[in-house]
Chain A
Amino acid sequence: MDTIEQQAQRMNETPEIGAARPVPVARSRLRSSGTVPRTNLGDRAFRALVCAFGVAIVAVLASILLVLIVESWDSIRTFGLSFLISSTWDPVFKQFGALPFIYGTVVASLLALLQAVPLGVGTAVFLTEIAPGWLRTPVSFLVEFLAAIPSVVYGLWGVFVLVPWERTYIQPLLASLFGFLPLFQGPKYGIGLLTASMLLAIMVVPYITSVTHEVLRAVPSAQREAALALGATKWEMLRIAVLPYGRTGIIGAVMLGLGRAIGETMAVTMVIGNRGQISASLFAPSNTMASVIANEFSEATYDLYVHALVEIGLVLLLVTLIINALARLLVWSVAGPAGGARRA
């Protein structure tokens, strides 16, 4: 939502503050550790206290990783690397291979990005460069609102509205146009990879849009003016000045979207069909790493089963950690540490 930002603007407009940069030199000098001797006990205690709370966040992140490794150790030791490359998931015979779920996650997320990235970047361009001033606030508010809808509500809508549409219109259409490809063959249940990816696309578009929006706004207007002064049209200005400047940040925005898509659970669980088999068809029911945990965790009857599910969680965590860390660094490099932070 825009609230914080608007408030920020309002605060900056308040005459008392004058300069908009709220970290004046004098303040940091006052607090710098070496020059002023720290005699006040209260100050030191307070600083230690808030510092401890800050460190607690790092500790939570580290302990999530640690807990998942410890809880899945049994399964890691039993199956080793074959956990990641075996496609047999058979709780009855205590055989666990996560490949079908990894496949489902990768295909569903990439398909979702394929749909969401052009739309998201296009919308961000529309918001920063094209839309008339009066339209910008309501459109960006509505986009942010899309991000506020809970996953389970998307899932509900998916089950009762999107799935029937897919079954009766979209999938038959795709099958008649591209039916020669194995991707679009097979029975059309409505549920399955394709439907899940469309729902995911709807869900990640607001993240890609708002982070890209922020990145594009961080492009200095001198860049735009220089291009326009050379006689460029708006599109040429975008192509030669704005998009290259923001490219790193946009890639970061896309990766943030990817991180979201990979970890998304409820909506996917509700429309993907939950069948752990690799199939060439996008119409086929499938399962993602997140959805198999959601489905089977509370039904797991023996320890190794639970540990195997936790190991899937561990893989999921590691993948999203890497993607998010890279994405943050990319976005930070363009828009600064505040960029995209509170929005995604």
Chain B
Amino acid sequence: MRDTRRRLVNLAVQVTAALCAVAVLAPLVLISTDLLMKGFSSLNWAFFTQLPKPAGEVGGGMANAIVGTIVLIALACGLGLPVGVFAGVYLAEYGHGRLGWCIRFAADVLMGVPSIVVGIYAYTLVVLPMHGFSAYAGGFALGVIMLPIVTRTTEEMVKLVPGSLREAALALGVPMWRTVLWVVLRTARGGIITGIMLAIARVAGETAPLLFTAFGNQFWHHGLNGPISALPMQLYTYAISPFDDWHRQAWAGALVLMGLILLTSLSVRLLTRGGFRATL
């Protein structure tokens, strides 16, 4: 009798857990179908090649926003990659002490700082002194968001490089710094690139920190010192606008953005799959 009850409870718990998984994945299915259906039907050539039309007019595209996103990501990489990769190297190679603990902790906490706060930070540090919204400010904000992600993945990948490789290099009389740069980093290259691409995929969709740094622009940007548009920001403007044609384009923009993000993470997966093992 008791055993039947125990078995029933056990079964019920397992079924509930499975239902939880279904419930968690259900929104993914719903969002993907909406995105594909509404996005594909609104996607056309003009979307990729034309500038936005004035409010209320039908047609136009988001060419400037697509370029803007790429420019902003490049700027963010300029800040986030060197600092992040070398900080990760420090954590993996020298970060056993208290300072290492502090940096690791700071990086993890920095990951949890709301992106809108990073926006205020960039506004104060870059926009105010430069007297205007700029691509630099937007890139700076995105770079700060990338930083901890790149650091922690680099650290993990460098730690995975077997100690025997370092010892072999050191035994040949190679100084530590060259060992790290030429042996360790080369070995971990695939993994580090994966981490970088994941960080790029993450910041590509960021909107909040750009609202008052890059600010957005309905035209092509003039140099990096002025306001610049970005895909997620354009998407936001269009989604909350009252115009049907802009809503249509917002769905198209969302599909393109998701495609970009998916492409980034998937291509890295495929590219590093073969290469990483080969380098070892």
Chains A and B are bound partners? yes
Which of A's residues lie within 8 Å of B, judged by CB?
1, 3-4, 7-8, 10-12, 14, 16-17, 22-24, 26-28, 30-31, 40, 42-43, 45-47, 49-51, 53-58, 60-61, 63-64, 67-68, 71, 118-123, 125-127, 129-131, 139, 142-143, 145-146, 148-157, 159-161, 202, 205-206, 209, 233-236, 238, 256, 259-260, 262-266, 270, 290, 293-294, 297-298, 309-310, 313, 316-317, 320-321, 323-325, 327-328, 337-338, 341-342, 344
Question: Which of B99, B112, B115 is close to A259, meaning CB atoms less than 8 Å apart?
Answer: B112
Q: Is the CB of B160 within 8 A of A22?
A: yes
Q: Is B137 an interface residue (CB 8 A)?
A: no
Pair A321/B109 contact, Cβ less than 8 Å: yes
Main secondary structure of the interface of A (DSSP, over half): helix
**Taking the complex as formed, is B183 at the interface, i.e. its CB lies under 8 A from any CB of chain A?**
no
A96 to B89, CA, bound (A): 46
Indicate whether A143 sits within 8 Å of B163 (C-beta atoms), given known contacts A46-B177, A154-B31.
Answer: no
6 smallest beta-carbon distances between A and B, as pairs:
A150-B205, A263-B114, A122-B20, A46-B177, A324-B112, A53-B86
Is there an interface contact between A148 and B99, defined as CB atoms closer than 8 Å?
Answer: no
Bound Cα distance from A259 to B116, whole angstroms: 13
**In the complex, are the beta carbons of A161 and B113 less than 8 A apart?**
no
Q: Can you name 26 A-B residue pairings with CB atoms under 8 Å?
A: A3-B272, A4-B195, A7-B276, A11-B160, A17-B162, A23-B159, A23-B163, A54-B90, A54-B99, A57-B147, A58-B106, A60-B144, A71-B120, A121-B20, A123-B21, A149-B258, A152-B254, A157-B34, A160-B38, A161-B34, A202-B27, A233-B10, A263-B115, A266-B236, A328-B105, A337-B101
Chain B interface size, under 10 / 10 to 19 / 20 to 34 / 35 or more: 35 or more
Instruction: Check A7–B96 contact: CB distance below 8 A.
Output: no
Shortest C-beta distance, A89 to chain B (Å), equals 17
Set of chain B residues within 8 Å of A202, measured between Cβ atoms: 27
Query: Does B195 lie within 8 Å of A238, measured CB to CB?
Result: no
Q: Is B18 an interface residue (CB 8 A)?
A: yes
Docked Cα-Cα span, A142 to B29, in Å, equals 10
Kindly identify which residue among B156, B208, B235 contacts A338, using a CB–CB cutoff of 8 Å.
Answer: B156
A152 to B116, CA, bound (A): 13
B103 touches A148 (CB 8 A): no
